[in-house]
């Protein structure tokens, strides 16, 4: 197991990537905010199989956190992350500082307008502007051929796909299915915030979505009915439900009938922890 090369400045990272491209090597890229879990490692394995060299970024992006969100307490474990990255064959870990990514005077942002509306976009103003901006900057620095993102952050994945298409970035975007715990809870760095009783109640998210999926497989297409099936499982288990919606899988438009490929998405608070999840309705 070889330790990855750690690069801290955009200039050095860009130079490394340019050398790989000149050597005709295909670059895969997995952006992360660190505190890696099995979900991240699955993304790295996917990237490892799609390219000659694998780059992972490790950067807690301040511009995607709101003023009352958990930037200061977001979990960090640099040494553990490097060990997990090495185990998956990562060649480079790009770990810039906030000053490197947003030097004094920086004032340019990317706003993917319609895809950022609704769902998390309404509850976290400015979040997706921060996400789109930092991902675009990372793409410009790393210059990957392919980038892998988890489908757990479904709206984020849609925003990035739209940005890449609209700005002619020429990068293949791969969505990887949500990685779950054996009991169904979607893996997330924020799961560490949950107490033992909250961890049990958090299972209501995956149970609710699974109930809607089962109903759709049985032939039900009415979005209100599908949502009600999920809500029955969530009721009394979550402390605050932010949204529970059925949307078109490609456009994220609200749908009344899940006849075309659709997705049901949820965001809810269990204790002080905000959790999100989604499942495809086929």
Active site residue 40: yes
pLDDT tens for each residue of 35-55: 999 999 999 999 999 999 999
pLDDT score at 72: 77
Distance CA 134, CA 108 (A): 11
Q: Which of 40, 100, 127, 145 is catalytic?
A: 40
Strand order in the sheet with 273-281: 240-248, 262-270, 273-281
pLDDT value at 70 more than 80 = no
Strands 53-58 and 92-94, bridge-based pairing: parallel
Mark 20-45 as b/e (b = at least 16 C-beta within 10 Å).
Answer: beeeeeebbbbbbbbbbeebbbbbbb
Helix/strand/coil for 43: helix
Burial-class residue 15 by CB neighbours within 10 Å (0-12, 13-18, 19+): exposed
Write out pLDDT tens, residues 94-129: 999 999 999 999 999 999 999 999 999 999 999 999
d(CA 182, CA 178): 12
Place of tokens 């560490």: 192
Looking at the predicted structure, is the pLDDT value of residue 86 above 90? yes
Neighbouring residues of 247: CB distance < 8 A, sequence distance ≥ 6:
118, 119, 253, 254, 255, 262, 263, 264, 265
- Distance (Å) of CA 131 to CA 82, 87, 178: 23, 27, 19
**Is it the case that residue 30 has pLDDT exceeding 80?**
yes
CA distances from 176 to 47, 142, 148 (A): 10, 20, 7
Q: Which of the four pLDDT bands, split at 50, 70 and 90, describes residue 74? A: confident
pLDDT per residue over 217-245, tens digit each?
A: 999 999 999 999 999 999 999 999 999 99
Average model confidence (pLDDT) across the chain: 96
The mean-pLDDT minimum among 68-72, 124-128, 139-143, 149-153 falls in 68-72
Q: Which domains does the chain have, with CATH numbers?
A: 5-176 (3.40.50.620), 189-276 (3.30.1300.10)
| pLDDT for the residue numbered 173 | 98
Average pLDDT over residues 141-153: 98
What per-residue string of b and e applies to 129-160 under the rule 16 or more CB within 10 Å gives b?
bbbbbbbbbbbebbbbbbbbbbbbbbbbbbbb
Closest CA to 123 of 11, 234, 274: 274
* Location of structure tokens 């749908």: 255
Q: Phi/psi of residue 275, each to 5°?
A: -120, 145
Res. 176 pLDDT band, cuts 50 70 90: very high
pLDDT for residue 73 is more than 80: no
Arithmetic mean of pLDDT, 267-281: 97
pLDDT of residue 75: 84
pLDDT at site 61: 95
Q: Are 49 and 136 a contacting pair, CB within 8 Å? A: no
In percent, how much of the chain has pLDDT > 90?
95
Instruction: Give dist(CA 282, CA 273) in Å, integer.
Output: 30
């Amino acid at each position: 197991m070889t330790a990855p090369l750690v690069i801290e400045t955009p200039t050095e990272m860009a130079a490394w990537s340019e050398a790989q491209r000149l050597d005709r090597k295909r670059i895969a890229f997995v952006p992360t905010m660190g505190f890696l879990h099995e979900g991240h490692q699955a993304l790295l394995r996917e990237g490892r199989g799609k390219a000659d060299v694998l780059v992972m970024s490790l950067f807690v992006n301040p511009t995607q956190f709101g003023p009352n969100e958990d930037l200061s307490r977001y979990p960090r474990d640099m040494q553990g992350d490097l060990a997990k990255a090495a185990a998956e064959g990562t060649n480079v870990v790009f770990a810039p500082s906030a000053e490197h990514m947003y030097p004094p005077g920086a004032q340019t942002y990317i706003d993917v307008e319609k895809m950022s509306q609704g769902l998390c976009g309404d509850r976290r103003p400015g979040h997706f502007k921060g996400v789109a901006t930092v991902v675009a900057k990372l793409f410009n620095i790393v210059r990957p051929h392919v980038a892998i993102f988890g489908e757990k952050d479904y709206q984020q994945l849609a925003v990035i796909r739209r940005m890449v298409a609209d700005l002619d970035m020429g990068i293949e975007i791969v969505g990887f299915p949500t990685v779950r715990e054996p009991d169904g809870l979607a893996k997330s760095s924020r799961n560490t915030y949950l107490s033992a009783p909250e961890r049990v109640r958090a299972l209501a998210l995956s149970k609710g979505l699974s109930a809607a999926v089962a109903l759709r497989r049985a032939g039900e297409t009415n979005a209100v009915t599908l949502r009600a099936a999920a809500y029955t499982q969530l009721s009394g288990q979550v402390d605050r439900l932010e949204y529970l919606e059925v949307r078109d899988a490609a456009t994220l438009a609200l749908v009344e009938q899940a006849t075309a490929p659709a997705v049901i998405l949820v965001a809810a608070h269990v204790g002080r922890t905000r959790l999100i999840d989604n499942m495809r309705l086929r």
